[in-house]
Structure 1
Amino acid sequence: MTFDLHTHHNRCGHAHGSIRHYIEAAVDKGLSYIGISDHTPLFAEKDDHPSPEACMAKSEFPAYIEEVLALKKEYEGRIEVLLGIEADFLPDCLDTYERIFKSYPFDYVIGSVHEFAGISLYDTLYWEQLSPEGRRELKESYYDYIARSAASGLYDVLGHVDALNRYFPGYSRLRTEAADHTLKTIAAHNIAIEINSSDELWVPDGWLLERALHYGVSVTFGSDAHEPARVGEYADDIRKHLIDIGYREWAVFKNRERILLPL
């Protein structure tokens, strides 16, 4: 069975198309499951919509839930629509997000790190001015954030782990024991990691996936599509990649419960 658990739509301000457009694209491509997982509002902020180009407004959140649930019923028998959400790991706001997640019938929650220790995931210039030792320390700081997100108990899936590999030149060549510590933490808290295909450089890379398999970490797949045409992109290639590494199953989620499907 083919699926895609990571898609966005126009409410987040930087994706194109409605939720229905993404579902229709998944139907056209023969997917068995399609997960809708737009960015959470900034619930800890006072303003309703402080970052309109990054995530939806707080006032839009109930409508998002209602729309996905209605489309889940409408498409029953054609494709299984899953209600998901992507949430940044914000250590100072965990209680707020936990309360909200428990208030809605999510099938899964993706936890992603876009900023850590005050550093943006996309800040290539910051990375390039660091010394080799500074780069290693930064990578270890990032892995610490990932481990803390896994231990928080908020998430079912960790999104685009090692996405820094796309923006920080030479990142993948820096080996650190922090990677193993992080994978052990993920395994201990029974969290799946996503293979993210939103760029030609999939993340995480084969080295980290081999280590993840060694520690018994489950995997899932998300295109991180911001356009309907990219739903399910590279899913078949990633399935073969995982089989070559040694995986035999990947995960989907319903009602916050993991379902392992054969590759």
Structure 2
Amino acid sequence: MKTDYHLHTAYSDDSIYPMEQLIQDAIQLGLEEICITDHVDHGVKYDADDPNRPKDAVLNVDYPRYFDELATLIPQYQDKITIKKGLEFGIQLHTIDAYQKLFEQYPLDFVLLSIHQIENQEFWNQEFQKGKSQQKYNEKYYDYLYEILQHYDAYSVLSHLDLIVRYDPKGRYPFENVKPKIEKILRHIIKNGKGIEVNTSSFQYGLDDLMPSRKILALYKELGGTIITIGSDAHTQQYVGNHIEEVKAELKTMGFQYFHTFDAMKPIAHPL
């Protein structure tokens, strides 16, 4: 079964990819199921109906239009592809209540839990890393993620678990130095019936390992983790389905037996 469980469209602030075009491209590529997971990043972006948003504000998903378009396109293409309703929640501690409210308002099949910034400081532009040692910003990243998990549970999988690597100008921080923190995170999600994502944008960004790394994946398996989704994190046509079949083959080599899709927030296992 060919799937892609991390896809962005023009409803994300960093994409101009029309949703219907994405669906047509996925069909052309032979994908059988996709989940569209556009961005919500409370704290640094604003909802369209927020009366306090600045004129030049960066916006979250326009939820009514997003879910209306999904409701139109899902039955329209149901004979060719299965389309699931998802979102990517870029959660911070001070924004948790907003995500809980959003989750309760709209029916979702799948939620990626990500952290893209801490205390409204972005990773991609080095605002968060600035003035900190490599040890400090790596340790704070994992500590912060673990703290979020203590307070928020309405998600399916952790997206790009070691995302900080993508934006680390000093290269990959040694796994052994943060292994105890990562192990705490993995034990927590396994205990709570959650999973992790393998995000194939590692190929797009030219990283030296998978995302999360092979060492993290091996630790996840060793601890008893089984729930895995695979997504391209595509924002444009060229990356849809990128390296997903290759990653499935590698996961099987590592000893994993299944990858997963989701329906109404429940994981469904498929043989690798």
Q: Distance in 2 between matches of 1:141 and 1:206?
A: 22
Spell out, residue by residue over 1:73-129, the C-alpha distance to the aligned partner (whole angstroms, 9 max, x if none): 111121100000111112223223212212212111111100125543224586486
Equivalent runs, 1:182-261 vs 2, <5 Å = 182-200=185-203, 201=207, 202-217=210-225, 218-261=227-270
Counterpart of 2:105 in structure 1: which amino acid?
S
Q: Distance in 1 between matches of 2:39 and 2:80?
A: 26
Pair 1:78–1:10, CA change in 2 (3 A): same
SS at match of 2:105: coil
Structure 2 residue 178 is the aligned partner of structure 1 residue 171: no
Of 240-249 and 46-55, the range deviating more from structure 2:
46-55
Counterpart of 1:236 in structure 2: which amino acid?
E
Counterpart of 2:136 in structure 1: which amino acid?
E
Paired position in structure 2 for 1:139 = 138
Aligned residues: 257
Pair 1:68–1:166, CA change in 2 (3 A): same
Spell out, residue by residue over 1:193-225, the C-alpha distance to the aligned partner (whole angstroms, 9 max, x if none): 111112323311101110111122221111110
Spell out, residue by residue over 1:218-262, the C-alpha distance to the aligned partner (whole angstroms, 9 max, x if none): 211111100123111100111112112211111111111111111
Q: C-alpha root-mean-square deviation of aligned residues, in Å?
A: 2.3
- Aligned 8 A contact 1:164 1:171 in 2: no
Of 95-104 and 45-54, the range deviating more from structure 2:
45-54
Q: Distance in 2 between matches of 1:90 and 1:67?
A: 28
- 5+ residue gaps, structure 1, are none
Pair 1:103–1:138, CA change in 2 (3 A): same
Q: TM-score, normalising length from structure 2?
A: 0.86
- Aligned 8 A contact 1:196 1:224 in 2: yes
Q: TM-score, normalising length from structure 1?
A: 0.88
- Aligned 8 A contact 1:112 1:160 in 2: yes
Of 99-108 and 46-55, the range deviating more from structure 2:
46-55
- Aligned 8 A contact 1:16 1:228 in 2: no
- Aligned 8 A contact 2:138 2:173 in 1: no
Of 69-78 and 166-175, the range deviating more from structure 2:
166-175
Equivalent runs, 1:1-263 vs 2, <5 Å = 1-40=1-40, 42-43=46-47, 46-47=51-52, 53=58, 55-56=60-61, 60-117=62-119, 119-124=121-126, 127=129, 130=132, 134-151=133-150, 152-168=152-168, 169-175=170-176, 176=178, 177-200=180-203, 201=207, 202-217=210-225, 218-263=227-272
Spell out, residue by residue over 1:166-209, the C-alpha distance to the aligned partner (whole angstroms, 9 max, x if none): 22133342422111111111212222111111232331110111
Pair 1:160–1:54, CA change in 2 (3 A): farther
SS at match of 2:85: strand
Counterpart of 1:145 in structure 2: which amino acid?
Y
SS at match of 2:16: coil
Between the aligned residues of both structures, percent identity stands at: 26
Pair 1:190–1:147, CA change in 2 (3 A): farther
Q: Distance in 2 between matches of 1:247 and 1:121?
A: 31
Question: Offset of 1:147 from its aligned partner?
Answer: 2.1
Pair 1:93–1:207, CA change in 2 (3 A): same
Q: Distance in 2 between matches of 1:118 and 1:14?
A: 17
- 5+ residue gaps, structure 2, are none
Counterpart of 1:160 in structure 2: which amino acid?
H
SS at match of 1:76: coil
